[in-house]
Amino acid sequence: MDSTNYKFRLFSGHLIPMVGFGTYTIRGSDLIQEVLDFALGAGYRLIDTAYVYNNEQDIGIALKTLLPKYNLRRQDIFITSKLPPSHHGDRVAAALTTSLKNLGCNYIDLYLIHWPGQAHTSVKDPSNVDVRTKTWQHLIQAKKSGLVRDIGVSNYNMKHMSELLRNCYGEMPAVNQIEWHPHYHQIELLEYCQKHGILLQAYSSLGGTNNSHLISDAAVVNIAQKLNKSPAQVLLKWALQQNIAIIPKGRSKEHIVANINLDFDIPETDMLILSNIRTTRKYAWDPDEVL
């Protein structure tokens, strides 16, 4: 299947592209304009950002010129943003309003709780539990008002997910965006999400900002050489082949195009090799510390 057309149907009925363009650490109006031009030209239709990435406004400005360039309308693209840890609870509306203004949109396709803990509060503070529940209620209201089309979470582990599903007020999270790659993958969490129809979306698929350890892993390199693909393409396809969505980022046209050119299959024997690499290494922050 053409990876640019590979989509997942969320609970709402809306379709989310399984391959999106991540923008973490990509800042500056000129750079954003350039990479989004490459991304839209390559076929990406999902743009992933967040309040704390400090690039929403530049993305909004870039889309004003780039959508017409590619004969696209707002409804032709899928925008994800995230609630910052500083705006849990009663501050949800303020953060969402700012993100909508920054992006120049009247709705966001998917809005995620970025982190299960609160800013300036100990990760061990029991209040995190009640505040998460209150935050979810505010996200439900935002969805009902039409400001967001779907809501979900990011960096939620098994404890956080099971807690949310017990107190979701009839509104299941559509997506859980987490770190996921052959050096760090939680099979129990994947099975739990898939059992409940929740899409797992991977970030740090290539190992994060400093990805040399994962990209150069001997098993990854050997399989890439055998398939005549890059190690990055193999890592991305490994997740996609497990029905896990991906949001790779890139700065060069070459990498941006390659990251969506995933119309190949990894043989099952090689999938097993990648899934059983003995190295265990987490490259991003650890939500397991958050009560």
Contacts 24+ apart (CB under 8 A), 90-98: 90/134, 90/138, 92/135, 92/138, 92/139, 92/142, 93/138, 93/142, 95/51, 96/142, 96/147, 96/148, 98/51
Continuous H helices in the chain: 29-42, 56-69, 92-103, 127-144, 158-166, 187-195, 212-215, 218-227, 231-240, 253-260, 268-275
192 is catalytic: no
Query: Which residues lie below 8 Å from residue 130, measured CB to CB, with a gap of 6+?
Result: none
> Given its phi and psi angles, is residue 37 left (phi above 0), alpha (psi -120 to 50 degrees) or beta?
alpha
Task: Judge whether 255 is annotated as a binding position.
Answer: no
- Give CA–CA dist 189/179, Å, rounded: 11
| 19, 44 contact by CB (below 8 A) | yes
Tokens coding 95: 């953060």
| 23, 188 contact by CB (below 8 A) | no
Name the active-site residue from 53, 111, 156, 283. 53
Binding residues for substrate: 114
* Residues designated as active site: 53
Binding-site annotation, residues: 114
